[in-house]
Amino acid sequence: MRNVTKDNITDVFKGYLVDDMPPRTREIMAALVQHLHDFARETNLTHDEWRQGIEFLEGCAAIESEDRHEFVLASDVLGLSSLVDMLHSRDDATSSSVLGPFHVSGAPALDVGGDMKRNFGGPVLLAEGVIKDTDGNPIAGAEIDIWQTAPNGLYASQDEEQDTFSFHGLMNVGDDGRYAFTTVKPVEYTVPTDGPVGAILDACGRHPWRPSHLHYIVKAPGYRTLVTEIFPDDDPYLDQDTVFGVRNDLVMTYHTKQAADFPEGMALSGKVTESFLSVKFDVVLAKE
């Protein structure tokens, strides 16, 4: 188009898309550019503001590495990651929540009833539940990949004091679908704020905190893989998670119990001498 104008440029862009391109690519590109252009037109975006946007992307690029995923973090704090999760959540299954940047593949096997706490201090947390289908039947042989922060608020990948798989475990459940493990209660923490995403949070007057959570990836053959998190209902950041990950069905009470009530058959059975915390959380998977 020779005479491109601010009013026709979006149609000119769509006119450049060839007839035989994949329909889904066409749909995505047309919608992306429609919204990009509408955003610029509605805000009457200036050259200086455009330049700030480019500098934001270039600033993310400058620190992007295998251990630092600033573009993912941007998606997280703008709510896009959570929105994509929710668009593909099923109403009849446990809600999904953000994967985040701290999952590590290859976690060591953790037996049902096993312990992730090791030598770390703090009261024992016993987490248990059943992995079920949407009819309430246990899913035999489901796999649950568990990770969380240490008591210092750091994930293993952030912390030189912890080994690679500290507070990571991979559990295969039996015919009863039941999982159970001991750990310490995870703590709230901040997303990284020393990059361009931190500057965005700052410009918006937003804090960088996430409520504490246990993070699970739950898989079983024939079922949709679920990435989710369990939040304690007394966390101060439940109503203001900086990555928008909290859903009502993922908020649980962590009950305080007496040592005498600690169950048999756990790695720590007989070794818990003080009160402990207990959380029960059943996971419902939808069929593929």
Pick out residues in 208-247 that bind a second copy (CB under 8 A). 238-242, 244-247
In this chain, which of 61, 140, 199, 259 binds a second copy, going by CB under 8 A? 61
Maximum Cα interatomic distance, the chain, rounded to a whole number of Å: 81
Position 268 contacts a second copy (CB under 8 A): no
Position 187 contacts a second copy (CB under 8 A): no
DSSP 186: -
Give SS3 for 109.
Answer: strand
Q: Give backbone dihedrals phi and psi of 43, rounded to 5 degrees, phi first.
A: -90, -5
Residue 274: both structure tokens together: 């003080």
Position 78 contacts a second copy (CB under 8 A): yes
Position 79 contacts a second copy (CB under 8 A): yes
Site for a second copy in 88-117 (CB under 8 A): 88
Position 83 contacts a second copy (CB under 8 A): yes
∠ CA 122-157-60, rounded to 5°? 130
Q: How far is the CB of 234 from a second copy (least distance, A)?
A: 12
Position 286 contacts a second copy (CB under 8 A): no
Residue 158: both structure tokens together: 């952030």
Q: Name 51's bridge partners.
A: none
Closer to a second copy by CB, 79 or 141: give it. 79
Q: Which range in 4-12, 113-121, 134-142, 170-178 contacts a second copy by CB under 8 A?
A: 4-12
Position 41 contacts a second copy (CB under 8 A): yes
In this chain, which of 67, 75, 160, 232 binds a second copy, going by CB under 8 A? 75
Q: How far is the CB of 215 from a second copy (least distance, A)?
A: 16
Position 67 contacts a second copy (CB under 8 A): no
How far apart CA 119 and CA 103 sit, in angstroms, is 21
Count other Cβ atoms within 10 Å, centred on residue 10: 17
Closer to a second copy by CB, 45 or 104: give it. 45
Helices (H), ranges, the chain: 9-16, 23-43, 47-63, 70-77, 80-87, 196-203
Position 20 contacts a second copy (CB under 8 A): yes
Q: Which range in 12-20, 170-178, 253-261, 267-275 contacts a second copy by CB under 8 A?
A: 12-20
Site for a second copy in 113-172 (CB under 8 A): none
Closer to a second copy by CB, 84 or 140: give it. 84
Give SS3 for 285.
Answer: strand
Q: Which residue has the tokens 């007496």?
A: 258
Angle between helices 196-203 and 47-63 (to 10 degrees): 140
Q: Which residue has the tokens 């992306």?
A: 32
Counting every residue written for the chain, the total comes to: 288
Position 86 contacts a second copy (CB under 8 A): yes
In this chain, which of 23, 27, 209, 269 binds a second copy, going by CB under 8 A? 27
